């Protein structure tokens, strides 16, 4: 809508000829006009959405359900509506929109008036009745049978049963009603709705990072778990931190894990298993029966171990029993002297030789009963030698015998050459192909082939994965991580580039300088539906150092700038460029909104327009308003088909002035006009394009196109 009453008066003059030809059934209208402010004293800027239900106006004309959008520019509101105070049940619902959302809602009751009414004259203190939709109609009661399908819908819903207590678990009774579970607050509810006392444990148990029993020697493939995984698929098995696959790498049956031949664990490997148990193996609470104390560490109750409870074939040894309760007579035990003479020699015990000692006539010191060296001639499976610090004992020779292996040189590792153990250069060869060894937190050599690998055939390194897709591939596979590749200059970086890209012949193609400038021969980007290819966030000031070809955005002046021929230049901006609507009566055919703080003193606005007249029966007129100013308002002869023109608007500190030129294709002569208006350059403005047929009928006027261009202020040269 127009933003100033003077513009409205101009339009009332232009449309005066229309009033005599209006249909008699057109309803009378009341003008609502007011200036709207916000609490901080600034003017409201936005839209008013006016809605109404169908009603019959006071003159009998029929008003259909519809809505209109009223522009509120610079706080100025003006709209014409049919009166409702003389119509039972009629009112207007008005929603004020600003900043992209509904700010507040009002209800209007409009009285007949020959003069404009303000909002305080039409605003209702309370909303109309939500039930009747009117202002004066009485409330009525609607019963359930009067609402189609309501009774059926209610019958399909569960009803409240007995007992029904707040804060209790809900169960479905045998009649289908919702009732409360009975029992104590600590009871457990079954599927059938009954309750029983809860028992300790009973939930699923979990075993984490268990080391299965079994030799890890490069040959053994069978390992035993402490418990049976339930279900078997819950087992996750890791070898050296790498997840094994079932059945490719292993199979599981009960507590037995069998590795595939190709996946046989090697000496030094680490094997860890995690799985789920059906029932938590660790009960809680007080122990009973033959146990005493509390779980998880109960004891055996007193007087429960009897002959009845111990099997006659039980493998119980004396060492497992407390000496406070001996199970045999000590009459035949060896004497203190015999125990002291025991040297671990060999022999055949008998009833008279309960312990084998050197007092037995059948034994001699030559049998090894006295101290001797490990690599002495007294052992048939060793090669005699003198032990030195750092030696290791190894099996060697075709007929293997234990022998000493002298300590190797510093920083050498004990390795296998396929036949013997030897000191050699430290080199681990058991990692997967492409692995890059590193020293882990424990000081051991390790690898992570899934996250760090080298492809020697294609000369590619992968960090974060092993996909080998490019010469260097960086990828953070951790969902919570963030991939970052950083290049940092050293203390002596100076003006040397931080990063360079070279062609196959060594020619430099691009670089990042030490000051962060990216230099490249060409730049190709592609804009998508969600992201612009190039974005300059700009700054409120121009850069201090500028070179020819520089391009930037000044946020304070809201304009793009370039540096050419040693001078700074602002770029013109197309604010609006579109086609408009058409009318056979009188209407606003197009508009262009200039937001607050978009313009500065010194800016210039160009407005171009094209109007097309169809028919030869009616004279017509055109009008263009810029905020409080009327750029053009002129009558056009019915014989004229096309009128085009442009307005040049200059913005200064106290307002703006303009000059307008227009011309036609036939009888409409070349016309010029100029004027001035007071306005703050930073306030919002609305440019509106109007058209009117003085004799409504079959003729029409159309705004075929309009353009609004801003030329930002620029002090040049300097």
Q: Tens of pLDDT along 155-206?
A: 788 888 778 778 788 888 877 788 888 777 667 777 777 776 565 555 567 8
Q: In 10 A of CB 621, how many CB atoms?
A: 23
Q: How does pLDDT run across 311-364, given as a tens digit for each residue?
A: 777 766 655 555 555 555 666 666 666 665 554 444 555 555 555 555 555 444
Smallest CA-to-CA distance from 432 within 647, 571, 186, 242 is with 242
Q: How does pLDDT run across 428-469, given as a tens digit for each residue?
A: 667 888 888 888 887 777 888 888 999 999 999 998 888 888
Residue 453 CB burial class (10 angstroms; 0-12, 13-18, ≥19): buried
Whether 417 contacts 428, CB under 8 Å: no
% of the chain exceeding 70 in pLDDT:
82
Q: How does pLDDT run across 365-419, given as a tens digit for each residue?
A: 444 455 677 888 878 888 888 888 989 999 998 888 999 999 988 878 888 888 8
How far, in Å, CA of 166 to CA of 35, rounded? 55
pLDDT of amino acid 243: 92
Can you name the residues that pair with 104 across neighbouring β-strands? 96
The helix/strand count (H/E) of the chain reads as 5, 49
pLDDT of amino acid 316: 66
pLDDT of amino acid 182: 76
SS3 letters for 528-576? CCCCCCCCCCCECCCCCCCCCCCEEEECCCCEEEEEECCEEEECCEEEE
pTM above 0.85, yes or no: no
pLDDT exceeds cutoff 60 at 657: yes
- The CA distances from residue 197 to 45, 131, 183, 200, 462, in Å, are 68, 53, 9, 10, 58
Residue spans of beta strands (DSSP E) within 433-474:
438-439, 445-446, 452-455, 460-463, 472-474
Q: How does pLDDT run across 548-565, given as a tens digit for each residue?
A: 889 999 988 889 989 887
Residue 48 CB burial class (10 angstroms; 0-12, 13-18, ≥19): buried
Q: Which two tokens stand for residue 302?
A: 């007193």
pLDDT of amino acid 290: 72
Rg (CA), the chain: 49
- The CA distances from residue 22 to 9, 27, 167, in Å, are 19, 10, 70
How far, in Å, CA of 594 to CA of 575, rounded? 8
Q: In 10 A of CB 401, how many CB atoms?
A: 15
Whether 70 contacts 47, CB under 8 Å: yes
Angle CA(139)–CA(141)–CA(146) in degrees, nearest 5?
135
Set out the domains of the chain in order of their start, with CATH numbers. 5-122 (2.60.40.3390), 206-277 (no CATH), 573-711 (2.60.120)
Smallest CA-to-CA distance from 124 within 137, 111, 140 is with 111
pLDDT of amino acid 322: 54
Q: In 10 A of CB 461, how many CB atoms?
A: 16
How far, in Å, CA of 297 to CA of 284, rounded? 9
Chain centroid to CA 292: how far?
55
pLDDT of amino acid 319: 56
Q: Cis check for the bond before 247: say yes or no (omega within 30 of 0).
A: yes
Taking all residues of the chain, what is their mean pLDDT, rounded to a whole number?
A: 83
| 15 dihedral zone (left: phi>0; alpha: psi -120 to 50; beta) | alpha
DSSP one-letter string for 169-214: -EEE-TTS-EEEPPS-TTEEE-TTS-EEE--S--SPEEEEEE--BS
Instruction: Indicate the pairing of strand 236-239 with strand 242-243.
Output: antiparallel
Q: Which residues contact 305 (CB under 8 A, 6 or more apart)?
A: none
Q: Which two tokens stand for residue 646?
A: 């442009």
Q: How does pLDDT run across 591-610, given as a tens digit for each residue?
A: 999 998 889 999 999 999 99
- Mapped onto helix, strand or coil, the DSSP state of residue 320 is helix
């Amino acid at each position: 809508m127009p933003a100033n009453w003077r513009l409205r008066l101009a339009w009332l003059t232009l449309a005066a000829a229309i009033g005599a030809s209006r249909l008699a059934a057109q309803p009378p209208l009341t003008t609502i006009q007011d200036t709207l402010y916000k609490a901080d004293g600034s003017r409201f800027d936005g839209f008013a959405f006016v809605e109404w239900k169908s009603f019959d106006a006071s003159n009998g004309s029929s008003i259909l359900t519809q809505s209109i959008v009223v522009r509120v520019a610079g706080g100025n509101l003006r709209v014409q509506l049919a009166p409702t105070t003389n119509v039972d049940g009629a009112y207007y619902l008005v929603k004020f929109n600003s900043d992209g959302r509904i700010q507040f809602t009002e209800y209007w009751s409009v009285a007949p008036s020959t003069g404009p009414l303000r909002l305080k004259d039409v605003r209702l203190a309370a909303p109309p009745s939500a039930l009747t939709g009117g202002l004066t109609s009485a409330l009525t009661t609607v019963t359930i049978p009067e609402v189609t399908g309501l009774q059926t819908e209610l019958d399909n819903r569960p009803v409240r049963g007995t007992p029904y207590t707040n804060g209790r678990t809900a169960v479905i009774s045998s009649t289908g009603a919702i009732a409360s579970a009975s029992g104590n607050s600590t009871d457990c509810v079954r599927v059938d709705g009954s309750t029983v006392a809860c028992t300790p444990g009973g939930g699923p148990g979990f075993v984490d990072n268990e080391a299965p029993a079994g030799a890890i020697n490069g040959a053994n493939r069978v390992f035993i778990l402490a418990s049976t995984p339930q279900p078997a698929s819950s087992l996750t098995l890791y070898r050296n931190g790498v997840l094994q696959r079932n059945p490719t790498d292993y199979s599981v049956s009960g507590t037995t894990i069998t590795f595939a031949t190709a996946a046989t664990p090697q000496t030094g490997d680490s094997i860890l298993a995690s799985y789920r148990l059906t029932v938590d193996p660790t009960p809680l609470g007080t122990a009973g029966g033959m146990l005493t104390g509390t779980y998880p560490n109960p004891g055996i109750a007193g007087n429960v171990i009897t002959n009845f409870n111990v099997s006659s074939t039980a493998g119980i040894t004396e060492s497992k029993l407390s000496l406070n309760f001996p199970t045999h007579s000590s009459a035949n035990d060896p004497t203190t002297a015999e125990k002291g003479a025991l040297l671990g020699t060999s022999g055949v015990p008998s009833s008279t030789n309960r312990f084998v000692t050197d007092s037995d006539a059948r034994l001699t010191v030559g049998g090894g009963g006295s101290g001797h060296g490990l690599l002495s001639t007294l052992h048939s499976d060793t090669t005699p030698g003198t032990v030195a610090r750092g030696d290791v004992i190894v099996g060697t020779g075709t007929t293997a015998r234990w022998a000493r292996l002298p300590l190797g040189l510093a920083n050498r590792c004990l390795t296998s050459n396929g036949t013997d153990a030897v000191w050699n250069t430290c080199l681990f060869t058991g990692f997967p192909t492409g692995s890059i060894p590193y020293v882990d937190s424990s000081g051991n050599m390790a690898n992570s082939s899934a996250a760090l690998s080298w492809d020697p055939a294609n000369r590619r390194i992968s960090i974060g994965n092993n996909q080998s897709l490019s010469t260097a591939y960086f990828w953070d596979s951790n969902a919570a991580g963030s991939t970052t590749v950083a290049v940092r200059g050293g203390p002596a970086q100076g003006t040397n580039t931080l990063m360079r890209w070279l062609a196959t012949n060594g020619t430099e193609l691009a670089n990042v300088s030490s000051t962060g400038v990216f230099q490249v021969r060409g730049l190709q980007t592609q804009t998508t539906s969600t992201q612009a290819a190039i974005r300059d966030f700009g700054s409120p000031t121009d850069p201090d150092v500028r070179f020819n070809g520089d391009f930037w955005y000044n946020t304070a002046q809201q304009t793009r700038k370039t540096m050419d021929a040693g001078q700074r230049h602002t770029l013109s901006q197309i604010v609006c460029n579109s086609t408009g609507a058409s009318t056979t009566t009188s209407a606003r055919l197009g508009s262009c909104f200039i937001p607050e703080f978009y313009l500065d003193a010194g800016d210039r606005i160009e407005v171009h327009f094209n109007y097309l007249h169809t028919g030869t029966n009616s004279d017509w007129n055109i009008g263009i308003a810029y905020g409080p100013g009327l750029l053009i308002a002129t009558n056009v002869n019915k014989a004229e088909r096309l009128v085009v023109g442009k307005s040049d608007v200059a913005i200064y500190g106290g307002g703006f002035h303009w000059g307008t030129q227009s011309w036609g294709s036939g009888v409409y002569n070349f016309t010029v006009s100029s004027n001035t208006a007071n306005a703050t350059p930073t306030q919002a403005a609305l440019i509106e394009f109007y058209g009117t047929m003085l004799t409504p009928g079959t003729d029409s006027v159309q705004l075929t196109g309009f353009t609004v261009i801003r030329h930002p202020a620029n002090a040049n040269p300097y």
